Amino acid sequence: MQKSYVRGTWQQKRAFSPCVITQGAGRTIYVAGHTGQVDDAGKSLAGDFDAQFHQTFRNIEKTLAEAGAKLSDMVTMTMFLIDARYTTRMTELRSALFGTDFPASAAITVQGFAQPEMMIEVQGIAVAD
């Protein structure tokens, strides 16, 4: 499987790629919407956006690990946020998380999620050998 990035210009500062291209035999991993309103010990993370962001991606990483894949295999994500004012902070956290090879992504502010404590939900696709 081959993967390449169209990296854009300003998009790198927002920690996403305008597009990611895959080709050839690989596994496509359809990743459900993940959230992070409680930590691994079951403690509520209500009201703490940074903590929910990190927990959400820890949860995604666990799911990907069960599929034999890792976070850097993500090729596209939709980041659903509870408030548009978290968008810039989200991109800062995402930059630290992904480093240089960013998935394609959209950042959408929505009305709500399954539970009122949720502040972020991330759905996407990973492609791995």
Which chain residues interact with a copy of itself by CB under 8 A? Answer: 6, 8, 11, 14, 16-34, 63-64, 66-67, 75-76, 78, 80, 84, 87-88, 103-114, 116, 121, 123, 125-127
Token pair for residue 19? 């597009």
Supply the minimum distance, in Å, between the C-beta of residue 54 and a copy of itself.
18
Q: Which is nearer to a copy of itself, 45 or 64 (CB)?
A: 64
Supply the minimum distance, in Å, between the C-beta of residue 12 and a copy of itself.
12
DSSP letter for 101, please: -
Supply the minimum distance, in Å, between the C-beta of residue 96 and a copy of itself.
18
Measured distance CA(80)–CA(3) in Å, rounded: 25
Measured distance CA(116)–CA(58) in Å, rounded: 20
Contacts of 42 (CB under 8 A, 6+ apart): none
